[in-house]
Amino acid sequence: MAKVLIIGGGIVGLSSAYYLQKAGHQVTVLDKGDLTDSCSFGNAGMIVPSHFIPLATPGMVSQGIKWMFNSKSPFYVKPSFNPQLISWGLKFLQKANAGHVERSATPLTELSLLSKKLYEDLSKEPEFDFDLVEKGILMFYKTEKAGEEEAHLAEKGRELGLDMAVLSPADCVKLQPNLELDVLGAVHYRCDAHLSPNKLMAAMVKYLRGAGVNLITNKEVTKIETVAGKVTRVLSYNEEFKADEYIVAGGSWSPAIGKLLGVKILLMPGKGYSFNVKEQVPSMQIPALLAEARVAITPMNGGLRYGGTMELDKINNRINMNRVKGIVESVPKYFPGLKPAVPAEKDIWFGFRPSSADGLPYIGRSNKFGNLVIATGHGMMGLSLGAATGLLVQEVISGTKNSIDIEAFAPDRS
């Protein structure tokens, strides 16, 4: 049994704590917030084995350049001389090729399928009621180009063993009878699922507290000390925390934590926005993704959660209303009967997705310190991949065989 300190209380940190506690380890989670404001709370709640294509793709470079000049576009990189952004951009350009996409598909699929199975298992536990629904997700498209791309992805997904089907507009109507549709078709990602992230996080916190995991909130890490290739203690101002094993699971704050260790964790915070709209009569049966608009809509807690955009910049508290308007304005183009109002600023949630340059998460031991594990960089799939990452972290620390090959996720990969 090891004494383990986890830095970061998002879904990855809490999932790691869950599986470590189950394996008999003594676990402490240290978080700079109060465990109610992480990126894991406000996302679309989608579990997506369908997302086996990393962010770094050849088409994303040219598309990203076009989007740079549109204030309402789904993707934006704020130009700056930020060294982290420059390093990230160079690595992104290096990895945005067909070979990388091909090599990434199998490890991402295996990670996603493991995570989905773990969420299914977790949902059967009496302490965990988080509204897991396995109806898949519908990727709607309006243009022939997007339709061709989605059909190609569906074919590749089926080769990977994923259940995907290309649908005609009539097929879509049968699955979404209460929605007026203006689309050319959709791909039904039958392999996908969705859940309520708010309920999952609350259940996880409650369980961990009851199981004796020490959850320490509102403690910012200010210093980390090391001796002879080992982390020896973590400090929050004058308060110290010691353990046998240390885990960096700080989401978009991980590079700053790594800097205290002299470890480079290359990722950028990708700001995303979401807002909720209550519904008297449920309109959507199955979560929707809007292909061209890059918007997600999920039935959740008696209404719909709308989310989208990826805004790469330094961590900040600004709300870019143009980005939110971009989400709002895209919806009626696909669903003429759905016309969400632009929400008040106080009703808009935003969070920072920790986005690695090659689109793959970091999961595994650091080469620099023998008792340091890094678990971050999941981008838009932190919730989806959280359970699997937690189990893999436990296996790494326990020294047992990993459930899947994690070589592709090595923190020190080139």
Handedness of CA 95, 97, 98, 101 (dihedral sign): positive
Looking at the domain 3-409, which fold is it?
A: FAD/NAD(P)-binding domain (3.50.50)
167 pairs with which residues across the strands? 186
From residue 305, give the alpha-carbon distance in Å to each of 67, 74, 95, 302, 352.
24, 17, 32, 10, 17
Q: Nearest to residue 307, comparing CAs of 276, 283, 333, 279?
A: 276
Q: Can you give the pTM of this predicted structure?
A: 0.95
What's the angle, vertex CA 413, arms to CA 410 and CA 414, rounded to 5? 170
Q: Which residues of 247-281 are buried (b: 16+ CB within 10 A; e: fewer)?
A: bbbbbbbbbebbebbebebbbbbbbbbbbbbeeee
Q: How far apart are CA 362 and CA 410, in angstroms?
A: 6
Write out the chain's pLDDT in tens, 414 residues: 999 999 999 999 999 999 999 999 999 999 999 888 777 778 899 999 999 988 777 777 667 666 766 767 788 887 778 888 889 988 988 998 889 989 999 999 999 999 999 999 999 999 999 999 999 999 999 999 999 999 999 999 999 999 999 999 999 999 999 999 999 999 999 999 999 999 999 999 999 999 999 999 999 999 999 999 999 999 999 999 999 999 999 999 999 999 999 999 999 999 999 999 999 888 999 999 999 999 999 999 899 999 998 888 899 999 999 999 999 999 999 999 999 999 999 999 999 999 999 999 999 999 999 999 999 999 999 999 999 999 999 999 999 999 999 999 999 998
Distance CA 392, CA 362 (A): 11
Parallel/antiparallel/unpaired status of strands 230-236 and 223-227: antiparallel
- CA dist 341 and 191 (Å) reads 32
Helix (H, G, I), strand (E, B) or coil at 145: helix
> Are 253 and 314 contacting, i.e. CB atoms less than 8 angstroms apart?
no
At 182, give phi and psi (nearest 5°). Answer: -130, 75
Helix axes 11-22, 382-398, angle to 10 degrees: 40
Rounded Cα gap, residues 206 and 173, in angstroms: 40
**What residue ranges do the domains of the chain occupy?**
3-409
Dihedral sign computed on CA atoms, order 175, 176, 182, 183: negative
Greatest Cα pair distance, the chain, in angstroms, is 65
